[in-house]
Structure 1
Amino acid sequence: MGTTKSFPKDFLWGGAIAACQSEGGFGKNGRGIAVSDISFFDKNIDRQDLAKHRNITTEIIETAMKDPGTKRYPKRHGIDFYHRYQEDIALCAEMGFKVFRFSMAWSRIFPTGEELTPNEEGLAFYDAVLTEIEKHGMEPLVTISHFEMPLALVNKYNGWADRRVIEMFVRFANTLFDRYKNRVKYWISFNEINAGRFTTFKSTGVVKDKSEHYLRDCYQAVHHQFVAAAMITRDLHAMMPEAKMGCMIAFFTTYPATCNPDDVIQMMLDNQYDNFFYTDVMIRGKYPKYMNRFFVDEGISLVMEEGDLELLANYPADYLAFSYYMSSISSAKADELVQTDANLKSTGKNPYLESSDWGWQIDPKGLRYTLNTVYDRYQVPLFIVENGIGAEDQVTADGQVNDDYRIAYLQKHIEQMREAVVDGVDLIGYTMWSSIDIISSGTSEMSKRYGFIYVDQDDEGNGTLNRLKKKSFYWYQKVIESNGEDLGI
């Protein structure tokens, strides 16, 4: 058998953004209010105080709904991709992107989620975005649900905890399939679906103070998303047999804190509960046995309707997409670990790794380990749809952004991606997070920048919004042109 020594010729290089962090256009042309519009920025809250950023209450929602402004709620203005999408897409094309990942805002097309007829102005906007992507010869990768469900579904149904939301989501997805059936091949049902356990409100719309049994509602909401994902996979394949539906998780790569068997067992459980539960259901098509014990221990009894399990079995995802930013450690004595921030949750700190300014541990080799582990388990194509480093970029007096730290981060991760491909992993693409600076998902600040393109805007929403190519822009341009062979600065 032959082996490959590098990335396949048709490898999909690109970058990603999300509607709720980039578009803006709050209240314009029929867009309804979304869960992302409740996310607030407060410079007096420590970045490490994750609870204050993530624990949304009914009172916080009511306060936000009374405020029509955008200053306190940065995701309402984003980076104005809504009006600047042509420029932004052209810049990505200049880098040589083969694929452009973005999401279509549910609340822009069905403002409350309950409408039977879509908002034509919302659909027309995405017509125009796709036209720009196509004009530049890029492949669109569309995420259907990316932390942006209509807030009305939260207020009326407590989000995905209510099964009736499935029907509304399926209507939304089928509207997209019908409208763009000849224009989009790659889809993702839910962004980081395991976020339903860690950043529950923005992922599922479940509000803790509205739940009698919050943990049960978290998993009930995820079950409803599993069923919805299977339904829309069925419908996509019926309408577009060549199209592909991916599932996506935030992969929490973890190692045992020591070689103590108790720590190894804890690593196994963390992997099962935080990662594999979601992908086992969506790729293997069934609930894994290890979750039975978890549900009993936690007093959780999920409500399933007849036919749910058959749907999951018959309509698994076509490929597995995931975000990878860092790794963590697992310990049977987790309360004794030094904690650090990470994607979606805090985690144990690994003393062998460096960290970003936000405390996220930098572990390129962990990406190779993850790719091999996941591919060995599922044997389906893999797609890395988020990977990057947040940093406080500075513009020099002569108008340069010398983000060598970003180049170094990406360089090392792409090297390990290549190693995984040589290992035999079927990796079809890579969309770095993010193509351009956008509002932070976790803290709603602008200072935490990920992009190849600098956006002149501060945490308060002030600035010209002018776009500026960073040093990493030209570096990634060479990476794509060489199909991952030239990683030098």
Structure 2
Amino acid sequence: MHGAFRKDFLWGGATAANQCEGAYNVDGRGLANVDVAPHGPERYAVVSGQRKMLDFEDGYYYPAQTGIDFYHHYKEDIALFAEMGFKTFRMSLAWTRIFPNGDEAEPNEAGLAFYEDVFRECQAHGIEPLVTITHFDCPIHLIKEYGGWRNRKLIDFYKNLATTIFTRYKGLVKYWLTFNEINMILHLPFMGAGLVFEEGENKEAVEYLAAHNELVASAWATKIAHEIDPEVKIGCMLAAGSYYPYSCRPGDVRQAQLDNQDNYFFVDVQSRGYYPAYAVKKLERLGIDVGMTDEDREILAANTVDFISFSYYSTRCSAGADNPDVEKTKGNAFAGAKNPYLQESQWGWAIDPLGFRITLNDLYDRYQKPLFVVENGLGAKDVVEEDGSINDDYRIDYLRQHIAAMRDAVTEDGVDLLGYTTWGPIDLVSAGTGEMSKRYGFIYVDRDDAGNGTLKRSKKKSFDWYKKVIATNGEDLA
């Protein structure tokens, strides 16, 4: 296994502004969609656009207001990442720190200065920032005034954001991602695109319209970035995980093919520069007009991404309509058939390291561009022992198996891989559930699901394990 990963392989961890920064009303920051996603049973209805909540309401706890207060702890946190040996740190910008409403002509200097400070802190520790422009992040003003990403005007607002940040952070950031998990528009549309649906509205038509606008905005951002700094690399970002047929029944196989197409559609456009035939036919069949212009076609074709990034937590399982009695998963936003051959996490997510290797192969075969794994990890409840230690062997085991599978994809299958960032190297608020108790980190944060706690940072057992993995460039996984 000697030399499995390239010498400059980018090991690190990934966060999102809305899940860790807090300081939601500090230094001129405006309100965003993720700020008003409450903790508790109504969260899913809100993030999926079924329940309209565009302001804080009495009786709810909103965990993004405080997150883990990365805003005031970033130096401490980045120092801990550096102690682990991070080569890269994936983070996102809060759009509303830079443009509080989203549609201003001029940015908020305090927001720009904060991120410059963070990037310089990373550089001081030899850490390369990997920055997501928007990670489930849409200004509330753009939702109330324009309807979110269903409105083409957001393309121009996003172009203004992109031009501002690429200019300001030239030389500080080499790797950018345009939209986090862009395919989540089809699963969590309020979170993914600021969409709220009116009664009787054609939900799917609105989702694909918003998707088109984000795809065009992504291509514009790629163009703008390369014009401002030809050295930067721009990636797309997919919530990945290959769909397996539930059985070899042809109906199941066909359903898996369709589900994979729905997932890959976004990257097909971002990587190839045009709508694939299956998507054109699907939209025609559904009577959906995304408002494609000649300029859109030109921008998409001329500005494909430099690399493909993705999150991987689990594979999924597809059953055809002629196989209705299969047991369903209770896991994340990708509902489907339950795979009887896989164990599950405490939150019902299938654990499938071999599926990680399969997904890496599927993506590399399909696109022939460098890949970057920008999220992978295990959400679990951690116990703090009386002596303060946190023995998260289950997390080490999960990551060990997945890194080994990733290594096989590189050494045996020839996948071109730029780097690997675990999700949540420090505990943060779960996007799907709003919980703190669903912990991913190597660093424990003293904060509970109700917002109580000191925010004190503590190293878990996995901290030293991942430090060793990075130091040996992925060779020592013991």
Mark yes or no: TM-score above 0.5. yes
Distance 1:466 1:351 in 2: 40
Alignment of 1:257-406 (within 5 A): 257-273=246-262, 275-333=263-321, 335-406=324-395
C-alpha displacement of 1:33: 0.4
C-alpha displacement of 1:5: 5.5
Match of 1:471 among 436, 449, 461: 461
Distance 1:214 1:56 in 2: 10
Corresponding position: 1:455 with 2:445: yes
Q: Which runs of 5+ in 1 are unaligned?
A: none
Distance 1:211 1:33 in 2: 28
CA contact (8 A) 2:30 2:100 kept: yes
CA deviations 1:452-476 (Å, max 9, x no partner) are 1000000011001000000000000
1:36 corresponds in structure 2 to: 34
Distance 1:370 1:209 in 2: 36
C-alpha displacement of 1:86: 0.4
Distance 1:134 1:476 in 2: 21
C-alpha displacement of 1:210: 7.2
Match of 2:47 among 37, 47, 54: 54
Distance 1:58 1:272 in 2: 28
C-alpha displacement of 1:255: 0.7
Corresponding position: 1:433 with 2:431: no
Distance 2:253 2:87 in 1: 40
The 1:361/1:235 distance shift into structure 2, 3 A limit, reads same
Match of 1:162 among 148, 151, 168: 151
CA contact (8 A) 1:342 1:360 kept: yes
Q: TM-score, normalised by structure 2?
A: 0.97
Distance 1:99 1:209 in 2: 42
CA contact (8 A) 1:53 1:442 kept: no
Alignment of 1:52-451 (within 5 A): 52=45, 54-57=47-50, 59-62=52-55, 64=56, 72-209=61-198, 212-273=201-262, 275-333=263-321, 335-422=324-411, 423-451=413-441
C-alpha displacement of 1:156: 0.9
SS of the equivalent of 1:30 reads coil
- 2:149 alignment partner AA: W
SS of the equivalent of 2:198 reads helix
SS of the equivalent of 2:373 reads strand
Distance 1:172 1:266 in 2: 39
The 1:234/1:401 distance shift into structure 2, 3 A limit, reads same
C-alpha displacement of 1:122: 0.4
The 1:75/1:323 distance shift into structure 2, 3 A limit, reads same
C-alpha displacement of 1:266: 1.0
1:27 corresponds in structure 2 to: 25
Distance 1:94 1:344 in 2: 34
Number of matched pairs: 476
Distance 1:191 1:240 in 2: 22
Q: TM-score, normalised by structure 1?
A: 0.95
CA contact (8 A) 1:325 1:343 kept: no
- 2:179 alignment partner AA: F
C-alpha displacement of 1:94: 0.3
CA contact (8 A) 1:53 1:443 kept: no
C-alpha displacement of 1:192: 0.3
C-alpha displacement of 1:347: 2.3
The 1:50/1:150 distance shift into structure 2, 3 A limit, reads closer
Distance 1:142 1:343 in 2: 24
Distance 1:441 1:211 in 2: 28
- 2:54 alignment partner AA: I
C-alpha displacement of 1:61: 2.2
CA contact (8 A) 1:355 1:361 kept: yes
C-alpha displacement of 1:372: 1.0
The 1:120/1:438 distance shift into structure 2, 3 A limit, reads same
C-alpha displacement of 1:4: 8.0
CA contact (8 A) 1:17 1:101 kept: yes
CA contact (8 A) 2:239 2:310 kept: yes
1:487 corresponds in structure 2 to: 477
Match of 2:8 among 7, 10, 20: 10
C-alpha displacement of 1:401: 0.6
Moved more, 155-164 or 5-14: 5-14
C-alpha displacement of 1:263: 1.1
- 2:441 alignment partner AA: G
